[in-house]
Structure 1
């Protein structure tokens, strides 16, 4: 089975709006986005159709409107996007990504504590 194409930044933003609303028309998404910037109805319509084609959303005609709702969970789409990112930039290796984030972005003391807890938990699970 061929891998689904990764979502663009704009597609991910539109998908998040539909996930947050549960169900949305093109107009609903336009209203949310117009709070922060100018958006074109046709552009949002195109993004929603692409998301349907990519299997992230499903469309249902209700009266004269097409209502979009989630077909996949956000966690799956995020997992696929991260896997695609790690494969393209780091040859499928997660450690170089973590090294990059720690060296370039830095972590706060609280984030470091959380990371240590995650590592300890992962190590304990691996020992069982």
Structure 2
């Protein structure tokens, strides 16, 4: 897979990318067929979203006859890591633990997921600190 630069994408673009990641290569018609099960988007909406993702260098496109074939230029895992980092940058460092707990509380997890989380937390203990320092500007706290 060619690597594009990961960028923030909208929720709608994320829906399209999930289909492309699952399919590997796909057409706008196939994307619409999958999204019709979930959304009631018009063909023009799908094509606009695909065009935006191509402009953002998230998708490549090649013409095949009278249709275009789309393929991801970025890996799903890398995109998830990017979005996660972007989310965590928006909140106070002191709140990261609480946010992660909320995500865990609100998520359906398998036994394997829980085991991996337990292993990750155990490993984190080696570098844990007594208190996380706030990374906010003074104006953000009263």
Where on the TM-score scale, by shorter chain, does this alignment land: which range? 0.7 to 0.9
1:6-27 deviation digits (Å, cap 9, x = unpaired): 1111111100101101111111
Aligned-pair RMSD on alpha carbons?
Answer: 2.7
CA 1:113–1:22 in 2, change beyond 3 Å: closer, same or farther?
closer
Q: What is the aligned partner in structure 2 of residue 55 from structure 1? A: 57
More helix by share: 1
Q: What is the aligned partner in structure 1 of residue 96 from structure 2? A: 97
TM-score of the pair, normalised by structure 1: 0.77
Q: What is the aligned partner in structure 1 of residue 86 from structure 2? A: 84
* Structure 2 unaligned residues grouped into runs of 5+: 128-142
Quote the offset at 1:53 in angstroms.
Answer: 1.4
TM-score of the pair, normalised by structure 2: 0.70
What is the number of residues matched between the two proteins? 119
Quote the offset at 1:86 in angstroms.
Answer: 1.4
Matched ranges for 1:10-49 at <5 A: 10-49=12-51
8 Å contact from structure 2 (residues 27, 67) kept in 1: yes
